[in-house]
């Protein structure tokens, strides 16, 4: 069987890699191309033919709706939207899309891709009026009163023609894929085709002469109540009747079929009703699939609980209900403590099993009318209907105790976990879903910061919680900055103590607002790290920096080394290695001119991952710097296992080196041991000439700080800046 030709239209590099891994892992017979924009997709469509297009809605240069004019009728389109984007999906279906998928945080939507999208055309219904020919023959006999032989011959000829046409009509009715039943004008069955025989359980010989109600019994699929027979409705109204989409046929043997279609009157030449033709088809499989898809869209595949999308729908409904004083409602936001330890120690299989077992514990405790949902990762939510905050707090503490007393066993190991819970009364203070979720999340983190395994009950206008939730507003601002290219790339020069060979600087980033003011990284990096946006930001900075050097070859020639920071979150993100190496190859950049800087804390928190990451990129020629060295525990012990090229001595030791003997000893020790290990050293926070002279005396290789230079836009030509004795601020 030939491979299915697929075009993936996706501008997110992480989602592209997820798709590739999924196809490879599942051994799917797909021959696929990837387009990262509307323009690339149009070009691919003009050059190739595809069976299926998987189109992400939001693209960098437009939306997937821009592609419909270029997609041939022979190609099916599956629309991919973000969570909660049903209006976009409906619009896509109306424009000709075959189906749609909703992304989720865990990438579970990938499992729905292999669903068959080809639709089978059903044969057109045939309708024949069998008695017209007999009337035609009678008219011929009345008109022709000539010779008896001619009259008999014509009659025989007409009857033979009628026989052939009737036979052809019966063959057609037996051959079509829909079920057909014809009745007299009294509702008496005259004919069933083979499909109708199969669905009703009645043979045509048994059914002929019976009232339609004896053979064709239908019910409402939801209420299970009997429905009026469409044949009698047609006989009463003389109009075509369409069967409801929720119609269930229960046949002679109790077998149930979901059906749809219509019943229409049969008229003679004088437009007098002579009977009814009932045409229906079995849609059991497609209706079951629709129900399964609807269930999957609203439930978490691992735990079977309501998912975040459906939970937010219900929360919204409660927020509206609060405006009508329809009782008390409370919302619990639960985050498991120590889950990451089990996931990292025992693997994701163990983590999944733990989530299933915790789900069972929670289900046994929550009330029947409450909604328990998995909101993502190890986070759960409980919507408590008709529940006061006091009742909610008792339930939350009960859940906390049950989980605290629970022991998770895996491969002869036993683990204890806990849960931090944020509890909110849903009252008139909250006017939007986002406000409610932000406060709930902030309460949950307040419980964690207070020592974990506890319940934090929100008090109106609590300053601590409002401050925490305010940090979440950065999510929208950061996403907007990524989407609208509001980030600005800066460089901060690094001076060699010896002879300077070309430009050597560190890449920094700011956000430019509409009023041309710049937001420093210290304002948004904490929020970006907490809410998982640093991998996107780091990939953006890498792509922008690489593209700039590719467009400015003279600047690349003058470059000695360009250092780019990577956060700990980025270090552990999927696909980052492939992204960096692929872009180096794409832009044909010399890898030895680029250095990636990671903090000591990020490196030692997962030494194996950091070592693999560094080793892989060093094989391509890249270099590495270890930032804030000396601030972590056992720094020198870990240093032996990290193949970095540069040590950036933590500025907290450098800035007071002239006044503090301990700081001086630390810098001297780090510098000497770094040199023994063959590594270059860089002193941060060089903010005065005295500090600079001292690190020169110690033999440190490089200096960086506001006394050396201030950060400037990347495109600014290098010139030696004036010496500035200014306090160091967060870059």
Q: Give pLDDT tens digits for 221-246.
A: 888 888 888 889 888 888 888 876 78
Percent of the chain beyond pLDDT 90? 21
Residue 38: which of 77, 73, 16, 70 has the closest Cα? 70
Confidence class for position 493, pLDDT limits 50, 70, 90: very high
User: Do residues 327 and 318 touch, judged by C-beta distance below 8 A?
Assistant: no
Using DSSP's 3-state secondary structure scheme, residue 414 falls into: strand
| Confidence tier at 728 by pLDDT (50, 70, 90) | very low
pLDDT(468) > 60: no
Provide the pLDDT for residue 722. 40
pLDDT at 161 over 70: no
Taking 90 as the threshold, does the pLDDT of residue 623 lie above it? yes
Reported as a pLDDT band with limits 50, 70 and 90, residue 17 is confident
Residues of the chain with CATH 3.30.450.20: 132-287
pLDDT band, very low/low/confident/very high, at 342 (cuts 50, 70, 90) = confident
Tell me which of 123 and 185 has the higher pLDDT.
185
Reported as a pLDDT band with limits 50, 70 and 90, residue 258 is confident
Options 3.30.430.20, 3.20.20.390, 3.40.50.2300, 3.40.50.720; CATH for 4-112 is 3.40.50.2300
Instruction: Quote the percentage of the chain above a pLDDT of 70.
Output: 83
pLDDT, residue 492, reads 93
Average pLDDT over residues 502-528: 84
Q: Answer yes or no: is pLDDT of 464 > 60.
A: no
In this structure, of 395-404, 443-452, 683-692, the range with the lowest mean pLDDT score is 443-452
Whole-number pLDDT of residue 127: 38
CATH 3.40.50.2300 intervals, the chain: 4-112
User: Looking at per-residue confidence, does 84 or 688 come out higher?
Assistant: 688
At 580, the pLDDT band (50, 70, 90 cuts) reads very high
- The CA distance from 311 to 384, in Å, is 12
Number of CB atoms found within 10 A of residue 645's CB: 16
What is the per-residue DSSP string for 242-311? EPPTTEEEE-TTS-EEEEEEEEEEEE-TT--EEEEEEEEEE-HHHHHHHHHHHHHHHB-TTT-SB-HHHH
Q: What is the pTM of this model?
A: 0.44
In this structure, the strands spanning 487-493 and 712-713 are antiparallel
303-461 maps to which CATH number?
Answer: 3.30.70.270
Alpha helices in 37-131 (DSSP H): 38-47, 86-94
Stretch 87-93: mean pLDDT: 81
User: Which residue intervals of the chain bear CATH 3.20.20.450?
Assistant: 487-713
Is residue 130 over pLDDT 60? no
At 259-271, the pLDDT tens digits run 887 888 888 878 8
User: Does the structure show a pLDDT above 70 at 22?
Assistant: yes
Q: Which of 25-34, 169-178, 535-544 has the lowest mean pLDDT?
A: 169-178
Q: Is the pLDDT of residue 480 over 50?
A: yes
User: Regarding beta strands 407-410 and 241-242, do their DSSP bridges make them parallel or antiparallel, or are they unpaired?
Assistant: unpaired
Could you give the CA distance from residue 487 to residue 509 in angstroms, rounded to a whole number? Answer: 7
What is the predicted pLDDT for the residue at 58? 82
pLDDT digits (tens, 9 = 90+) for 162-212: 655 655 555 555 556 688 888 998 889 988 888 888 889 999 889 889 998
Which among 110, 112, 118 has a CA at the least distance from the CA of 10? 110
Residue 565 pLDDT class (50, 70, 90 cuts) = very high
Q: Is the pLDDT confidence value at 621 over 70?
A: yes
Neighbours of 467 (CB within 10 A): 10
Q: Please tell us whether the domain made up of 487-713 is placed in CATH 3.20.20.450.
A: yes
Q: What pLDDT is attached to residue 125?
A: 35
DSSP state of 109: G
The average confidence (pLDDT) of the chain is: 81
CATH architecture of 132-287: 2-Layer Sandwich (3.30)
pLDDT tens for each residue of 629-656: 775 544 566 677 788 899 998 888 898 8
The tokens for 306 are 């309501």
Residue 550 has pLDDT above 90, yes or no: yes
Say whether pLDDT at 120 is over 50: no
Could you identify the residue written with the tokens 């409904």?
A: 317
For residues 512-538, average pLDDT: 80
Tokens of 691: 């500090």
Q: Where in the chain is CATH 3.30.70.270?
A: 303-461
Task: Give residue 567's pLDDT.
Answer: 87
CA distances from 166 to 153, 156, 172, 351, 711 (A): 20, 15, 10, 68, 91
Angle subtended by helix axes 576-587 and 607-619, to nearest 10: 20
């Amino acid at each position: 069987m030939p491979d299915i030709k697929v075009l993936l239209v996706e501008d997110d590099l992480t989602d592209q890699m997820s798709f590739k891994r999924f196809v490879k892992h599942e051994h799917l017979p797909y021959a696929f191309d990837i387009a990262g924009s509307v323009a690339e997709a149009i070009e691919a469509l003009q050059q190739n033919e595809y069976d299926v297009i998987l189109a992400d809605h939001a693209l960098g240069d437009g939306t997937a709706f821009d592609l419909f004019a270029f997609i041939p009728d022979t190609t099916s389109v599956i629309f991919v939207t973000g969570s909660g984007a049903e209006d976009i999906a409906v619009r896509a279906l109306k424009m000709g899309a075959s189906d749609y998928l909703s992304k989720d945080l865990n990438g579970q939507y990938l499992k729905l891709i292999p669903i068959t999208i080809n639709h089978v055309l059903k044969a057109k219904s045939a309708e024949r009026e069998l008695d017209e020919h007999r009337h035609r023959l009678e008219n011929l006999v009345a008109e022709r009163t000539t010779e008896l032989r001619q009259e008999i011959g014509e009659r025989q000829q007409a009857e033979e023609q009628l026989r052939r046409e009737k036979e052809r009509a019966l063959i057609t009715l037996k051959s079509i894929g829909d079920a057909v039943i014809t009745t007299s004008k009294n509702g008496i069955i005259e004919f069933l085709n083979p499909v109708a025989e199969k669905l009703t359980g009645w043979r045509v010989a048994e059914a002929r002469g019976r009232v339609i109600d004896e053979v064709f019994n239908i019910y409402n699929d939801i209420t299970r109540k009997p429905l009026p027979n469409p044949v009698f409705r047609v006989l009463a109204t003389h109009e075509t009747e369409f069967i409801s989409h929720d119609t269930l046929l229960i046949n002679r043997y109790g077998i149930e079929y979901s059906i749809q279609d219509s019943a229409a009157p049969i008229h003679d030449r004088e437009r007098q009703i002579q009977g009814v033709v009932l045409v229906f088809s079995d849609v059991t499989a497609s209706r079951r699939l629709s129900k399964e898809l609807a269930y999957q869209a609203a439930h978490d595949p691992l735990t079977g609980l309501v998912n975040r999308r459906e939970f937010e729908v219900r929360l919204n409904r409660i927020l509206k209900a609060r405006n009508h004083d329809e009782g008390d409602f409370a919302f619990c936001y639960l985050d498991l403590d120590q889950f990451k330890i089990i996931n990292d120690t025992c693997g994701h299989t163990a983590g999944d099993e733990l989530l299933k077992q915790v789900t069972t514990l929670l289900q046994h405790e929550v009330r029947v009318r409450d909604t328990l949902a998995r909101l993502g990762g190890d986070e759960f939510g409980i919507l408590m209907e008709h529940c006061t905050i006091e009742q909610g707090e008792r339930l939350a503490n009960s859940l906390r105790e049950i989980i605290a007393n629970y022991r998770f066993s895996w491969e002869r190991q036993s683990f204890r976990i806990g849960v931090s819970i944020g509890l909110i009364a849903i009252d008139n203070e909250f006017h939007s879903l986002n406000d409610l979720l932000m406060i709930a999340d902030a309460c949950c983190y307040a419980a964690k910061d207070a020592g974990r395994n506890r319940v934090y009950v929100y008090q109106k206008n609590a300053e601590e919680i409002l401050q925490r939730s305010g940090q979440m507003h950065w999510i929208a601002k950061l996403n907007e900055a990524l989407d609208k290219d509001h980030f600005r790339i800066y460089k901060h020069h690094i001076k060699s103590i010896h002879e300077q060979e070309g430009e050597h600087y560190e890449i920094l980033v700011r956000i430019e607002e509409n009023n041309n003011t710049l937001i420093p990284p210290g304002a948004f990096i904490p929020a970006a790290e907490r809410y998982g946006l640093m991998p996107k930001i780091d990939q953006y900075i890498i792509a922008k920096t690489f593209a700039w050097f590719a467009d400015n070859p003279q600047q690349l020639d003058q470059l000695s080394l360009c250092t780019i920071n990577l956060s700990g979150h980025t270090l552990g993100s999927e696909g980052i290695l492939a992204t960096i190496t692929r872009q180096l190859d794409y832009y044909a950049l010399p890898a030895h001119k680029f250095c990636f800087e990671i903090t000591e804390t990020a490196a030692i928190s997962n030494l194996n991952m950091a070592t693999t990451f560094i080793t892989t990129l060093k094989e391509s020629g890249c270099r590495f710097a270890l930032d804030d060295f000396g601030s972590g525990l056992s720094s020198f012990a870990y240093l032996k296992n990290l193949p970095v090229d540069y040590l950036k001595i933590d500025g907290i030791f450098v800035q007071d080196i002239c006044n503090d003997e301990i700081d001086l000893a630390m810098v001297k020790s780090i510098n000497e041991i770094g040199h023994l290990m063959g590594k270059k050293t860089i002193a941060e926070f060089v903010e005065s000439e005295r500090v600079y002279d001292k690190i020169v005396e110690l033999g440190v290789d490089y200096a960086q700080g506001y006394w050396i230079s201030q950060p400037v836009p990347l495109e600014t030509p290098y010139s030696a800046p004036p010496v500035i004795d200014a306090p160091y601020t967060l870059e």
